[in-house]
């Protein structure tokens, strides 16, 4: 029996791959809401659902500026959340049925690991191998007031009963930016409090695009949060600047301060300083027969990476050759546009940028100069090292461009590339131009 702990992207992928290979597999899922992991219940899919509505509202406002559509009325945040939960339950049910049809035994319960001993619902359970794919949970900063009613994380935000008038988001990364765009579009006054700078790991071009999309959000960078105020509920957030302390009023606070691997149920296995399970290149932990994959390893917190690691763990158990890790991993954030990029490691870069062309999703933004942009990055030898794009479908295009960067395909192949028209994708134009420059 192979036991997989966690029914998110890493665990489900591994379990079905092992079952397809003829192994007897038991998947243990603690979440009462069903399979799908953080991605479905608190991450990617919830962001996509909320962002669809936020973009619809933003687009309607653009049409209002042009004068051919009236005002929107009757938006209900509680109904939106109710309908989201209904669809999430449908998807979770489909995932569970798909997993069972693949031959995987799915049980809803809890697991505990003590060295090389596995307990399921308190009962010691023998195993051939174990894959730990228990994901991660939000990191709660050590500031006063975090336990007040009205303070949320990405895992609890859907429990917020109604749309706040004033929301403060503590954080500077993807989650902070995405929720800031969403709730500002819904009508809340939103302030981001960033300990460092907004989206600091992103290419500079995309940071500039994000600031355009967040132009109606108050962004305060390089600030120190001194505490969250309130008695029976949140009243505001205190920030310290030198010797001065000021308060920003809020009736909701979102903590977007990072993630911590879910390893509290594990003992006797080597972990990193953040609690992440340490693994080798075959996803093996320090305990014989116990593997780990996905967010619990503390690497990336990205769904495609989790799936990749789930496949590696399954292949290691099966004795198969493991696929190498990609050199460049495409990433994206959803605001008014998709802001997507893919970069090879290294710092020596030169960027070539153009504005995004008018096309589906950007035509009516031409007069606002908000059609996005495209950037190609090269090193001192003229080799492609990075791509970045802000456009309505940049995340889809970047997946294929990332595949190109991880293969032996060079930019000369774009001589034969025919793009779909009309399109808001500007990267093919840049790659063709760059290829022509190399030939001249």
Which of 99-113, 271-285, 367-381 bottoms out in mean pLDDT, i.e. has the lowest? 367-381
Instruction: Provide the pLDDT for residue 250.
Output: 98
Read off the pLDDT of residues 181-223 as tens digits, 9 standing for 90 and up: 999 999 999 999 999 999 999 999 999 999 999 999 999 999 9
- Does one domain contain both 27 and 156? no
Instruction: Provide the pLDDT for residue 350.
Output: 82
325 within domain boundaries? no
How far apart are alpha carbons 20 and 10 in whole angstroms? 16
pTM for the model: 0.95
The yes-or-no verdict on residue 347 having pLDDT over 80 is: no
The yes-or-no verdict on residue 381 having pLDDT over 80 is: no
How far apart are alpha carbons 97 and 117 in whole angstroms? 29
Instruction: Provide the pLDDT for residue 228.
Output: 98
- Does one domain contain both 24 and 78? yes
Domain count, the chain: 3
Q: What is the mean predicted confidence (pLDDT) over 427-438?
A: 85
Strand, coil or helix: what is 231?
Answer: coil
Read off the pLDDT of residues 255-270 as tens digits, 9 standing for 90 and up: 999 999 999 999 999 9
Of residues 381 and 288, the one with the higher pLDDT is 288
- Does one domain contain both 214 and 302? no
- Does one domain contain both 100 and 169? no
Q: Is the peptide bond before 422 cis (omega within 30 degrees of 0)?
A: yes
Which of 120-124, 287-291, 325-329 bottoms out in mean pLDDT, i.e. has the lowest? 325-329
Cα–Cα–Cα angle for 236, 192, 200, nearest 5°?
Answer: 145
Q: What is the mean predicted confidence (pLDDT) over 357-370?
A: 94
Domain residues for 207? Answer: 151-255
Asked which of 200, 220, 255 is the last residue of a domain, the reply is 255
Q: What is the mean predicted confidence (pLDDT) over 327-349?
A: 91
Q: CATH number of the domain that 38 lies in?
A: 3.50.50.60
Average pLDDT, whole number, for the chain?
94
How far apart are alpha carbons 111 and 28 in whole angstroms? 7
Instruction: Provide the pLDDT for residue 323.
Output: 86
The yes-or-no verdict on residue 440 having pLDDT over 80 is: no
Judge whether 234 and 250 are in contact, CB under 8 Å. Answer: yes
144 within domain boundaries? no
- Does one domain contain both 53 and 199? no
122 within domain boundaries? yes
Q: What is the mean predicted confidence (pLDDT) over 7-18?
A: 98
Read off φ and ψ for residue 59, nearest 5 degrees. Answer: -65, -40
- Does one domain contain both 108 and 124? yes
């Amino acid at each position: 029996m192979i036991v997989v702990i966690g029914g998110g992207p890493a665990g489900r992928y591994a379990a079905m791959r092992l079952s397809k290979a003829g192994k007897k597999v038991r998947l243990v899922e603690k979440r009462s809401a069903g399979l799908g992991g953080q991605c479905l219940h608190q991450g990617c899919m919830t962001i996509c659902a909320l962002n669809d509505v936020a973009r619809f509202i933003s687009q309607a406002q653009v049409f209002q500026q042009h004068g051919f559509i009236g005002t929107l009325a009757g938006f209900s945040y509680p109904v939106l959340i109710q309908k989201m939960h209904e669809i999430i339950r449908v998807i979770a049910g489909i995932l569970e049925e798909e997993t069972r049809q693949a031959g995987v035994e799915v049980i809803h319960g809890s697991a505990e690991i003590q060295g090389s001993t596995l307990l399921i619902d308190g009962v010691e359970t023998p195993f051939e191998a174990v894959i730990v794919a228990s994901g991660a949970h939000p990191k709660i900063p050590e500031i006063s007031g975090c336990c007040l009613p009205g303070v949320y994380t990405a895992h609890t935000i859907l429990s917020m009963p109604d749309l706040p008038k004033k929301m403060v988001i503590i954080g500077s990364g993807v989650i902070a930016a995405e929720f800031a765009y969403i709730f500002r579009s819904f009508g809340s006054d939103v302030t981001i409090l960033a300990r460092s700078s907004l989206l600091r790991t992103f290419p500079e071009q995309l940071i500039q695009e994000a600031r355009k999309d967040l132009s109606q959000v108050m962004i305060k960078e390089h600030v120190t949060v001194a505490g969250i105020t309130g008695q029976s509920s949140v009243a505001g957030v205190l920030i310290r600047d030198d010797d001065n302390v000021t308060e920003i009023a809020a009736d909701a606070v979102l903590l977007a301060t990072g993630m911590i691997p879910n390893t509290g149920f594990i003992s006797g296995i080597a972990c990193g300083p953040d609690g992440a399970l340490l693994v080798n290149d075959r996803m093996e932990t320090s305990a014989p027969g116990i593997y780990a994959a996905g967010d619990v390893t503390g690497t990336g917190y990205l769904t495609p990476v989790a799936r990749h690691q789930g496949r590696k763990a399954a292949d290691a158990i099966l004795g198969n050759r493991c696929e190498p890790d990609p050199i460049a991993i495409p990433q994206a954030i959803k605001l008014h546009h998709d802001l997507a990029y893919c970069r090879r490691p290294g710092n020596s870069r030169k960027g070539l940028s153009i504005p995004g062309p008018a096309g589906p999703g950007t035509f009516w933004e031409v007069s606002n100069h908000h059609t996005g942009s495209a950037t190609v990055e090269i090193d001192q030898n003229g080799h492609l090292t990075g791509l970045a794009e802000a456009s309505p479908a940049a995340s889809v295009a970047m997946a294929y461009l990332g595949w190109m960067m991880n293969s032996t395909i060079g930019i000369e192949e774009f001589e034969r590339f025919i793009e779909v028209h009309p399109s808001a994708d500007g990267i093919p134009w840049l790659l063709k131009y760059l290829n022509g420059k190399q030939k001249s």
